[in-house]
Structure 1
Amino acid sequence: MAKTRVAIVGFGGMGWRWAKVANSYYWSCLNLIIDSDEKKLEEAKKHWKCNFDSDLKALSSPEIDAVVVATPNIFLAPITKYALQNGKHVLCEKPAGVNTKEIKENILLAKCQCLSYMVGFNHRFHPALAQAKQLVSSGFIGKIHFIRSVYGHGGRPGYENEWRNKPELAGGGELLDQGVHLIDLAFWFLLEGSFKKIHGTLASNFWSSKIEDNAFIILQSSLEATVSLHVSSTQWQKKFLWEIYGEHGFIAIEGLGGNYGIETLRYRNRDTITGKLDKEEIFYFPPEYGYEDPDISLFSLWGKFISSIKSGKEYGPGGSDALNALSVIEKIYQE
């Protein structure tokens, strides 16, 4: 089986991480890096042995099978569209676009071209969250009553000048940046096609920006499960928390590796007659087993992407998952 030849468009932080993943995976190799910033390309040439270009037209090369799109948000969907039109499979960084219209167009285009179109919702592949999903699917905590989550960081010096704080490039603030991950997880855990109630409160508390640095989100499912999400770029100490409470117990995940701390999964079952909780089970995903590296989730997602290309089967997370998340975000921005 031939290796999938990969191009990466956008060589900022996520572009570097995806290059590492694509070139380390057995069934893929990095053939091309595209970025409009010549300084980035010069730096990349010191580390990577592949082709380099500043023009998207290079994607039309027959030497490219798949494209990773890792640009600022406003360019994600247009570049995805261009790659699909040129017959390339696409893994697009989240949020995959800035509105539902462009996501819908790319979903249809990928289907018409019989191409794989996946989205970088890598949090699904963090080991603690993946194990929590298995517990929920097995019925371990029964019917879900509520989900509560906090996800935040404190930026860094000069953060207000980065593209994420420029609406003309980002298309939105924290709601679109980290919020899209949590909304995707809510859909994933609850198996919802849509939420019947959606409400959000946005705040710009610190950074000099015209977009929000905090978002507070409340969702309610058709089965009356309530989801409470808070994302922030004024959370001075990085934090990730994901809690699920059901009729028979609870599951809690803290940390994502790296600066977010070691991933920890805790759960307890509750006797529905006596109300007593059984012994708490705690699982750590520590650095000695490689879980401290946040990119382990990218490797897992990449494996799904390559499997989709090779098998012709559709795997998630894909365009439809991005569409679900963006539909919630659009409604909150329109409030």
Structure 2
Amino acid sequence: MAHTVGIIGFGKMGQIRAAALEEDGRAKILKVFDNYLPEKPRFAVAASAQEIIDDPKITIVFVCATNEVNKPFTIAALKAGKHVFCEKPPAFTAEDVKEIMEVERESNRVLMYGFNHRHHGGVLKMKQVIDSGAYGRVLWMRGRYGKSVDSDYLKTWRSDRERAGGGILLDQGIHMLDLFLHITGAPFDDVHAFVSSRYWKIPGIEDNVFAIMRNRQSGVEVSFHSTMTQWRHLFSLEVFLERGYLVLNGLKTSSGTYGVEELTIAKNRATAPASSFDTEERMVFNVDTSWAREAEHFMDAVSLGMPVLYGNSNQALDVMSLIDRIYSNDHHLSESLHENLQVVGRN
């Protein structure tokens, strides 16, 4: 069966997805819609998102728009009998994702979310090494993901709580949290976090998140920082195991702002102080094939009936549940701190 695609949101992400689909070659793009088309596209332009959802000739809908429409457009497209690919975040809360999953089950259609970082070459190699067991079990992980923004950021929809749903955590940190869950294969039982907006001071839009997490059964502990006050783009994921370590620094992107995507792998050197780095193996991923891999994975599910292993709704629920806990954990911590300060003041 020849599949046809409608893309809702044809900015940067919509165009990236279109190019990847054309490279895959198993689906034809029929229509696109965006309120602000950057230039006249090569495809027919729909008058509205609803036109794409309602079009009986379209079998697949890509939702590449602003965050607040991800949930309603996904639900509407599934109810219309379409397969759906949706960018992250899947929604604003875990309860929202559960509502989507109910419709997904009834629709019997493919639903996949754009957790693109799972498809990066460096991440794929990390997961392969970890799953091999050659380096033993994971002991701990540390992830930092940040970028620099300027005052122009305040003029975009990302600074509007109603449209964005949150700040840097939903915008970027969600990818790192998804990778933690991807590597451990299990949720975190203990979560402690600080969520703040002390520099940009946009209501409801956090500019920093610090969190520590632990899975009690495995003992894996995680340190996490998501920020937009770092003044430089940075991605760093470190995984330390019983018999070695893996460190992924940088991500290969079209803009090049995250630098070189370099994975360092080394065996544990038991002789103290183990300060020699001459046994490290370094792998550099010079080409970003993540978008093509992601499109292939989605089309395999649609055309061949293969399962969605990366970016399925269960994984979306897991990461949104963790995000809910990070937001609520900081809220409760702040309340407790405020109460303690009042007690001290009375004394």
Q: CA deviation at 1:285?
A: 1.2
Structure 2 counterpart of 1:309: 302
- AA at the equivalent of 2:261: E
Listed as ranges, the gaps of 5+ residues in structure 2 are: 330-347
- AA at the equivalent of 1:93: E
Q: CA deviation at 1:272?
A: 5.7
Structure 2 counterpart of 1:5: 4
SS at match of 2:248: strand
Aligned length: 321
Q: CA deviation at 1:150?
A: 0.8
**Would the aligned equivalents of 1:160 and 1:208 in 2 still touch at CA under 8 Å?**
no
How many angstroms apart in 2 are the aligned matches of 1:157 and 1:28? 40
How many angstroms apart in 2 are the aligned matches of 1:232 and 1:225? 23
Written as runs of structure 1 = structure 2, the 5 A alignment for 1:76-155 is: 76-155=70-149
CA deviations over 1:186-232 (Å, ceiling 9, x no partner): 1100010x211012111213224112111112110131111111111
Q: Quick check: which has more Rg, 1 or 2?
A: 2
CA deviations over 1:94-147 (Å, ceiling 9, x no partner): 111001122112222222221110110000000011100000000132111110
**Would the aligned equivalents of 2:8 and 2:52 in 1 still touch at CA under 8 Å?**
no
Structure 2 counterpart of 1:217: 211
- AA at the equivalent of 1:280: E
Q: CA deviation at 1:55?
A: 4.1
SS at match of 1:236: strand
Structure 1 counterpart of 2:284: 284
Structure 2 counterpart of 1:28: 27
How many angstroms apart in 1 are the aligned matches of 2:326 and 2:44? 42
Written as runs of structure 1 = structure 2, the 5 A alignment for 1:68-79 is: 68-79=62-73
What is the identity percentage for the equivalent residue pairs of Structure 1 and Structure 2? 33
How many angstroms apart in 2 are the aligned matches of 1:84 and 1:279? 51
How many angstroms apart in 2 are the aligned matches of 1:17 and 1:236? 26
- Which deviates more, 13-22 or 60-69? 13-22
**Would the aligned equivalents of 2:31 and 2:43 in 1 still touch at CA under 8 Å?**
no
User: Could you state the TM-score of these two structures normalised by the residue count of structure 2?
Assistant: 0.88
Q: CA deviation at 1:11?
A: 2.2
Structure 2 counterpart of 1:198: 191
Cα RMSD after superposing both structures? 1.8
Structure 2 counterpart of 1:16: 15
How many angstroms apart in 1 are the aligned matches of 2:106 and 2:280? 49
Q: CA deviation at 1:23?
A: 2.8
- AA at the equivalent of 1:203: S
Listed as ranges, the gaps of 5+ residues in structure 1 are: none
Show structure 1 runs of 4+ deviating over 6 A. none
